[in-house]
Amino acid sequence: METQKSFFIIALLTGLNLSVFAQDPKMPPPPDEKTRERIEAARAAVITQQLNLTPEQATKFWPIYNEFSQKRELLRREFFEERRKIDPAKPDPKAEKEVFNLGLNIRQKELDLEKDYSTKMMGVISGQQMLKLRHAERNFQQMVMNQLQQRRNMQQRKENFRERNQQLRPRGN
């Protein structure tokens, strides 16, 4: 059964169109709705599996966790959008300091948000499961990053193959 769950998660990730994440290393544009749904389904599968949530826990946990994740994402986007406004070619110490301070403020807001939602989640799942949650989130992020890297490597191999084929074709025909 565990192998089937792992296969399902890998299949979900393999099917994801993650090329949208490769655009900007600072912060990717939001994925299209279909891709977002597939990512969320894969994330839910990984976290549910690694926390070993019971069906009763899952029905109570996911609305709380999803609300927390959405609020956390909004905070992070706020920072990255401000950071994007900084032009590395035109240093502006005042603006850079403001963005740095904004980053610190947002990290504090994230911590406060995590404290608040951890209390809510602990009403549904055990302390041990809460400890596993961060690990499960990191595992999922790593799975996505590995999938991205595999896709980038495959794209690079295809480009290299095309270039070699172009060089091997006889000229003048």
Rounded to two decimals, the pTM is 0.69
Q: What are 45's two structure tokens?
A: 């599968």
Mean pLDDT score, 70-78: 94
For residue range 89-134, what is the model confidence (pLDDT) as tens digits? Answer: 888 899 899 999 999 999 999 999 999 999 999 999 999 999 999 9
Please report the pLDDT score of residue 29 as a whole number: 59
The domain limits of the chain are 1-53+130-173, 67-124
Do residues 84 and 148 make contact, with C-beta atoms less than 8 angstroms apart? no
Residues making up the chain, counted from first to last:
173
**Average pLDDT across the chain, whole number:** 83
Confidence of residue 36 (pLDDT cuts 50, 70, 90): confident
Q: Say whether 89 sits in a helix, a strand or coil.
A: coil
